């Protein structure tokens, strides 16, 4: 049987995940308050700028006096600084729990151990590192942002059963099945940005929005070093935000932002995206863009649909080792996470 610390931290991780797509750039956090082995209050960070998980859990406790001497389980170290909300550490100290059990230390330099130290200085026992790996997977975007100062990058493509992502003329629409395409729109709603190269933008006239799912549209990012994006494209003509990276000009036309990057390097673009608040990026580019990102080791995860179609010849899919898969409609979905 799983010990009680793991049991309640697992519950905090489950609650935290409910904030997916709503709390960035903050991490997802869940909190469970336990007295005599019974949950007396729980909560999670629901929306950026709103109350943090600890405050929502405290507010969920009917008799606040019960928090004194209780155990508080949190998926991430509580904050110690004033941001959109006051420090959660101070509020916990006010209610005098006997212990705080944490999955991960917060990598943000504004916190990073300061919350744990302050709790201990106020005679509250702290246990950290419970289900640490699971906690880091949950907030993988946040950890990459803090540690590497770039977005968490997810590569996504569909390939045929014989390993092609497009025909010889570059056409590639509907290699994957309808169920897979719906899932991709769900993924789009969970990430801050979505990236393609200029050739894909021109050939597919992509909209890159969320149509088959409910949720916010990601900010579109186009790699266009020589300003070859065609005027007729949806990218330039619809009202959505687009960031067009090039090596020639800086200008803004409504929601279309042309950003000069010199030298035009993927590393520089990733850092600029991070500074602009693009904390996760779904890459749906063609073979050239995908292979360049792989070559530069600038990816964290790959999601690959393998369909039953066969092209016999065409543009080869990137070469990433694939192992286990799950079935999505008629397709196989492979998920590869680096350093996992």
All CATH 3.40.430.10 domain ranges in the chain, comma separated: 149-337
Which member of 22, 36, 42, 54 is catalytic?
54
pLDDT band at 140; cut points 50, 70, 90: very high
Per-residue pLDDT tens over the stretch 160-202 = 999 999 888 777 778 999 999 999 999 999 999 999 999 999 9
* Domain formed by 4-140, architecture: 3-Layer(aba) Sandwich (3.40)
Inter-residue contact 37 to 9 (CB < 8 Å)? no
Q: Is 54 an active-site residue?
A: yes
Mean model confidence pLDDT for the chain: 93
Higher pLDDT, 131 or 170: 131
Reading the block at residue 141, the tokens are 């975007």
Assess contact for 105 and 79: CB atoms under 8 A: no
Mean pLDDT across 264-269: 97
List where CATH 3.40.140.10 sits in the chain.
4-140
CB 183 within 8 A of CB 158: no
Work out the pLDDT band at 117, boundaries 50, 70, 90. Answer: very high
Asked if residue 294 lies in contact with residue 318, where contact means CB atoms within 8 angstroms, the answer is: yes
Stretch 267-271: mean pLDDT = 97
**Range in 60-74, 91-105, 152-166, 203-217 the model is least confident about:** 203-217
Contacts of residue 140, Cβ cutoff 8 Å, sequence gap at least 6: 152, 300, 301, 337
- Look at residue 85 in the predicted model and tell me its pLDDT: 66
Q: Is the pLDDT of residue 311 over 70?
A: yes
Domain 149-337, CATH homologous superfamily name and number: Dihydrofolate Reductase, subunit A (3.40.430.10)
Given a cut of 50, whether residue 1 has pLDDT beyond it is no
Question: What percentage of the chain reaches a pLDDT higher than 70?
Answer: 97
Q: What is the pLDDT of residues 13-38, one digit of tens each?
A: 999 999 987 888 889 999 999 999 99
Backbone angles phi, psi at 105, to 5 degrees: -70, 140
Q: What is the mean pLDDT of residues 216-241?
A: 95
Question: With a threshold of 0.85, does the pTM exceed it?
Answer: yes
HSE (side-chain half, CA atoms, 13 Å) at 160: 17
Q: Mean pLDDT over residues 209-233, rounded?
A: 94
pLDDT band at 301 (very low <50, low <70, confident <90, very high): very high
Percent of the chain with pLDDT over 90: 83
Helices (H), the chain: 4-16, 53-60, 88-95, 114-121, 132-138, 140-148, 178-190, 198-204, 234-237, 266-275, 287-295
Q: Which of 64-78, 167-181, 246-260 has the lowest mean pLDDT?
A: 167-181
Q: Which of 150, 95, 181 is nearest to 275 (CA)?
A: 150
């Amino acid at each position: 049987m799983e010990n009680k610390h793991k049991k309640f931290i697992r519950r905090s991780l489950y609650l935290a995940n409910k904030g997916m797509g709503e709390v960035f750039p903050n991490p997802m956090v869940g909190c469970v308050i336990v007295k005599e082995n019974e949950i007396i209050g729980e909560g999670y960070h629901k929306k950026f700028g709103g109350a943090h998980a600890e405050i929502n859990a405290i507010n969920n406790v009917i008799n606040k006096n019960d928090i004194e001497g209780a155990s508080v389980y949190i998926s991430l170290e509580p904050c110690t600084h004033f941001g959109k909300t006051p420090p959660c550490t101070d509020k916990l100290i006010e209610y005098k729990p006997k212990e705080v059990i944490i999955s991960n230390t917060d990598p943000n330099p504004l916190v990073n151990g300061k919350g744990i130290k302050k709790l201990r200085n106020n005679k509250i026992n702290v246990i950290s590192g419970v289900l640490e790996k699971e906690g880091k997977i949950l907030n993988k975007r946040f950890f990459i942002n803090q540690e590497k100062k770039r977005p968490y990058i997810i590569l996504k493509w569909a390939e045929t059963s014989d390993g092609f992502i497009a025909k010889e003329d570059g056409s590639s629409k509907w290699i994957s099945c309808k169920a897979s395409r719906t899932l991709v729109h769900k993924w789009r709603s969970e990430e801050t940005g979505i990236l393609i190269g200029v050739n894909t933008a021109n050939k597919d006239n992509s909209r890159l929005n969320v149509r088959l799912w409910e949720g916010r549209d990601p900010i579109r990012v186009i790699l266009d070093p020589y300003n070859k994006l065609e005027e007729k494209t949806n990218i330039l003509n619809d009202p959505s935000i687009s960031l067009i990276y090039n090596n020639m000009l800086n200008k803004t036309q409504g929601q279309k932002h042309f950003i000069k990057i010199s030298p035009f390097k993927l590393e520089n673009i990733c850092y600029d995206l991070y500074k602009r608040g693009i904390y996760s990026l779904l890459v749906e580019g063609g073979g050239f863009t995908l292979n360049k990102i792989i070559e530069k080791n600038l990816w964290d995860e790959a999601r690959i649909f393998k369909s039953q179609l066969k092209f016999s010849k065409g543009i080869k899919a990137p070469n990433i080792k694939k192992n286990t898969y799950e079935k999505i409609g008629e397709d196989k979905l492979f998920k590869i996470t680096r350093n996992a």
